[in-house]
Structure 1
Amino acid sequence: MSLEPFLAVFVITQYRRHLKMDGLLTKWNKYLNIGYYIAIAIFIFGVSFDHGEKLTTVISHLFFLGVVVCPYYIEDLRSGKQLAFALIPYAIAGLIQDVLEKWFPTFYDNHDNMIQSLVVFSLIWAFSLWLISRKQTKALENERKQRFAEQEQNRMMAAMKVNLESEVRERTAELTKQTEELQLALSELKSTQAQLIQSEKMASLGELTAGIAHEIQNPLNFVNNFSEVSIELLEELKDEVLDKLPDDVKEDAGDIINDITQNLSKINQHGKRADAIVKGMLQHSRATTGKKEPTDINALADEYLRLSYHGLRAKDKSFNAGMKTNFAPDLGKVEAIPQDLGRVLLNLFNNSFYSVSEKKRTLGEGYEPTVTVNTQKVRSPSGVNMVQITVEDNGTGIPQKVLDKIYQPFFTTKPTGQGTGLGLSMSYDIITKGHGGELKVETAEGEFARFVICIPVGNVTQS
């Protein structure tokens, strides 16, 4: 019995392994099983029937040869071509040997050595190619494993790269956030420092103002009191003594008494005005409590407008300016810090009067310096009701190149010694932080400057 059925089973098993690696086993599994059955049937037939040995031998060789050459005709079995190339010479040599031995014994006996050599050579050929194939297969397997290891390493490196990039982005975002927080803290620290400086200056100024006001208050009280007493005495003189005088001097004495009475009335009138100014100075110098209270915005604006004007008049007798007011009668009272809001208004009024006085000094006659103050209720673009205070002057205006700097601490457009650069900075903080409002500016250089204060109306109470 020849070995071809067993070799056929071996070759079919190798095909099965290649098809499984290529993912094609399901498609060809039925045909591979049929090949197994045929090989087993040939083996059983050859063992069971001795008289059919010749036919069994030929069928066995032909079946084995057919199995071996399949990779050359079936595309899915192309990975088994190397195995077929190794076994085809042996299949042909074995077929020739058995055919000559069974049907041409004389020829076989005469050429026995040559035929045996051919068979042996085919076996050596098959074994050599099998060794080479095995070595190549191992090399390919090692290369595949190495390539897989490299791919895995590259995948791990890519994953590590993604993780590192993510960590770098997170760290960068964290550092950026910390930088912004530090910058914000530094800005708030600078603002606080400026406010402390301004508070110290205002405290010192308040103490000085309070001292001066108290000193003025005493003689001013004497002036007001004695002017009132003098008017009363003149009235008594006019009622009791004037009628007793001779007729030739009675008229002249009456005229003199009337003139003195009018003069004393003027003294008393302006004395009371001075008294109101002194009281305003005392109120302005009083330390702020930081607590909001119902405040009459119209009265506050009018009081500080006149306080600013007379303060500048006291410094410069030649100074003069027109004042226009347009106060909303239904404004009511607003919950505000009156001392702080008064300081804001005083700063704005002082700046406006300074601006118009500078323009007056430049233009001279023909120019009428005017400061206008308006109050009204408005609605912001976001729908919030606001109380709006507008301070406008027709002075020199603010240059556009410095417009963005006017709220910065220690920035001033006034000559050295005439401004600290803290007024608008303090005013901006009082309105925005202390009252939750807005302080905006509109200006045209050489024409006008308009400051607009807006305070939320949520705390407004009707008068």
Structure 2
Amino acid sequence: MQYEFDLKEAAQKAEQEKKELALQKELELKALNFEYEKKQAAAKSEKEKQQLRFEQQLKRQEIEAAYARKTAQIEAEQKRKEALAKLEQEKRDALNASALALSQAEVQRQSSQRNFFITAFALLAILLGFIGYAFNQKQKANKLLQEQKAEIDQKSTQLEQSLTELKATQNQLIQSEKLASLGELTAGIAHEIQNPLNFVNNFAEVSAEMLDELKEELEKGDIEEVKAIAEDLQVNLGKINHHGGRASSIVKGMLEHSRTSTGVKEPTNLNALADEFLRLAYHGLRAKDSSFNATMEMHFDPDLPLVSVIPQDIGRVLLNLINNAFYAVQEKARQGIEGFAPMVSISTKKMDNAIEIRVKDNGNGIPEAIREKIFQPFLTTKPTGQGTGLGLSLAYDIVTKGHGGILEVNSTEGLGTEFVIRLV
């Protein structure tokens, strides 16, 4: 029968298309696995490998979702063709039945005109019934197809929305970490600004007194004394300008730190950047705990050239590493170990083909169990509520991905930790 042939042909075609889709999907997944196996092999750290696995999983889900939609569309198309084939068969059956009935009616027409009309009307009613039934079936098939399409579109939209929400959440967490680091600096900024402002105020008061003396000497006509006072005033004004510039540079630096990174690299004095954030982080911690004291050592290479970096991003990296170092020595100091003197040092060095920055502390060190995972997101050694677990992860991404450098850690439990940044 034509109906069975159409059904068989539609089923075979749908099955063939699904096999081809399955083969394409398998090839794409194998290609994806092969691509990320190469990337995994080239990855330099567990952090990179985990990020690659995360990206691979997202792409795998996208491939599977795409092929699921295509498979559902093939099945829906198959059902539609089956419904249409069934409809055509019913039409043919109805027409055959109508033709047979009309033929019988024609044979009986000679014997009874009345029976002919009754039969004709009956057959017409049957035919209309079949047509109505066939139309109803077609409507159901179209409705089913639309419902399946709507379901596929809804699932696709949900997947896209989930991915968008995931990216938005990630961006919010990164911004929160940046704002948190700036908040920790607030007390340190106030302390650092207060020092130059005190100098400005003091020299301004002295200068005002010297102006009064200048007026008196002018009235006396002592020109030599007037010249001497004028020279002292010039020195004072130079000092006021110097310390005012110092306060201005602190404010400018913090504004740069708080802005969203432009992603543009510019020649930067890393010695000045490291010195600034070391002092601000220390005084910020002292503002929270006035009993805390630590030795700060700075070993800056005087021959260090200006380095092309994104200053806001490298500043955030240094701030995070320095804050962690001060936190480590503060926690060790609270243990009351006899003879322990908290110390945090930062050094820079020009290498043959790189610039090296080291941040070192003599705290408790990082436990060996988590040392290899220290740069993973949301991993923190601090108590609940005191750390987001994003600081080192962001620092690692800034150095390795944003600047093509290296960030590594050396730590011995009980002796301390040293983070090393190498910028090529």
When the two structures are superposed, what TM-score results if normalisation uses the length of structure 2? 0.52
Aligned equivalent of 1:232: 207
1:356 paired with 2:329, answer: yes
Q: Match for 2:411 among 434, 439, 443?
A: 443
Asked whether the 8 Å contact 1:213–1:282 carries over to 2, the reply is no
CA distance in structure 1 between the aligned counterparts of 2:363 and 2:24, rounded to whole angstroms: 54
Asked whether the 8 Å contact 1:294–1:333 carries over to 2, the reply is yes
Structural mapping, 1:18-37, within 5 Å: none
Q: Match for 2:372 among 400, 404, 420?
A: 404
CA distance in structure 2 between the aligned counterparts of 1:442 and 1:217, rounded to whole angstroms: 31
Per-residue deviation, residues 406-437 of structure 1 (Å, max 9, x unmatched):
11111100011211111000000000000001
Distance 1:272 1:309, change over 3 A: farther
Question: Which amino acid is the alignment partner of residue 175 of structure 1?
Answer: L
Per-residue deviation, residues 326-354 of structure 1 (Å, max 9, x unmatched):
11122201110000000000000000010
CA distance in structure 2 between the aligned counterparts of 1:222 and 1:378, rounded to whole angstroms: 38
Aligned equivalent of 1:340: 313
Asked whether the 8 Å contact 2:329–2:364 carries over to 1, the reply is yes
CA distance in structure 2 between the aligned counterparts of 1:351 and 1:211, rounded to whole angstroms: 17
Q: SS at the partner of 1:453?
A: strand
Aligned equivalent of 1:185: 55
CA distance in structure 2 between the aligned counterparts of 1:211 and 1:319, rounded to whole angstroms: 17
Asked whether the 8 Å contact 1:432–1:439 carries over to 2, the reply is yes
Question: Which amino acid is the alignment partner of residue 229 of structure 1?
Answer: A
Distance 1:445 1:229, change over 3 A: same
Per-residue deviation, residues 201-238 of structure 1 (Å, max 9, x unmatched):
15655897999999999999986654332121233456
Q: How many residues align?
A: 263
Q: Which moved more, 1:287-296 or 1:310-319?
A: 310-319
Question: Which amino acid is the alignment partner of residue 389 of structure 1?
Answer: I
1:425 paired with 2:393, answer: yes
Q: Match for 1:175 among 29, 45, 48?
A: 29
CA distance in structure 2 between the aligned counterparts of 1:202 and 1:435, rounded to whole angstroms: 20
Q: Match for 2:261 among 252, 274, 288?
A: 288
Question: Which amino acid is the alignment partner of residue 410 of structure 1?
Answer: F
Question: Which amino acid is the alignment partner of residue 289 of structure 2?
Answer: D
Asked whether the 8 Å contact 1:296–1:332 carries over to 2, the reply is yes
Question: Which amino acid is the alignment partner of residue 253 of structure 2?
Answer: G
Q: Match for 2:271 among 287, 291, 298?
A: 298
CA distance in structure 1 between the aligned counterparts of 2:337 and 2:395, rounded to whole angstroms: 31
Structural mapping, 1:32-431, within 5 Å: 175-179=29-33, 183-185=53-55, 196-202=171-177, 204-205=179-180, 226-236=201-211, 277-379=250-352, 385-431=353-399
Asked whether the 8 Å contact 1:280–1:307 carries over to 2, the reply is no
CA distance in structure 1 between the aligned counterparts of 2:417 and 2:211, rounded to whole angstroms: 55
Unmatched 5+ residue regions in structure 2? 1-21, 37-51, 59-162, 218-238
Aligned equivalent of 1:434: 402
Q: CA deviation at 1:318?
A: 1.4
Asked whether the 8 Å contact 1:389–1:453 carries over to 2, the reply is yes
Distance 1:233 1:294, change over 3 A: same
Q: CA deviation at 1:178?
A: 3.1
CA distance in structure 2 between the aligned counterparts of 1:289 and 1:367, rounded to whole angstroms: 43
Q: CA deviation at 1:307?
A: 1.5
When the two structures are superposed, what TM-score results if normalisation uses the length of structure 1? 0.48
Distance 1:357 1:365, change over 3 A: same
CA distance in structure 2 between the aligned counterparts of 1:416 and 1:386, rounded to whole angstroms: 38
Q: Which moved more, 1:186-195 or 1:356-365?
A: 186-195
Q: SS at the partner of 1:362?
A: coil
Q: Which moved more, 1:271-280 or 1:207-216?
A: 207-216
CA distance in structure 1 between the aligned counterparts of 2:170 and 2:280, rounded to whole angstroms: 24
CA distance in structure 1 between the aligned counterparts of 2:186 and 2:346, rounded to whole angstroms: 30
CA distance in structure 2 between the aligned counterparts of 1:346 and 1:219, rounded to whole angstroms: 21
Asked whether the 8 Å contact 2:189–2:284 carries over to 1, the reply is no
Per-residue deviation, residues 378-418 of structure 1 (Å, max 9, x unmatched):
35xxxxx1111111111111000011221111110001121
Which structure ranks higher in relative contact order (CA pairs < 8 Å, sequence separation ≥ 6)?
A: 2
CA distance in structure 2 between the aligned counterparts of 1:355 and 1:175, rounded to whole angstroms: 45
Unmatched 5+ residue regions in structure 1? 1-167, 243-265, 380-384, 457-463
Q: SS at the partner of 2:418?
A: strand
Q: CA deviation at 1:363?
A: 3.1
Q: CA deviation at 1:448?
A: 1.2
Larger Rg: 1
Per-residue deviation, residues 14-63 of structure 1 (Å, max 9, x unmatched):
xxxxxxxxxxxxxxxxxxxxxxxxxxxxxxxxxxxxxxxxxxxxxxxxxx
Per-residue deviation, residues 234-291 of structure 1 (Å, max 9, x unmatched):
334567789xxxxxxxxxxxxxxxxxxxxxxx99999987665444333321222110
CA distance in structure 2 between the aligned counterparts of 1:215 and 1:191, rounded to whole angstroms: 37
Question: Which amino acid is the alignment partner of residue 326 of structure 1?
Answer: H
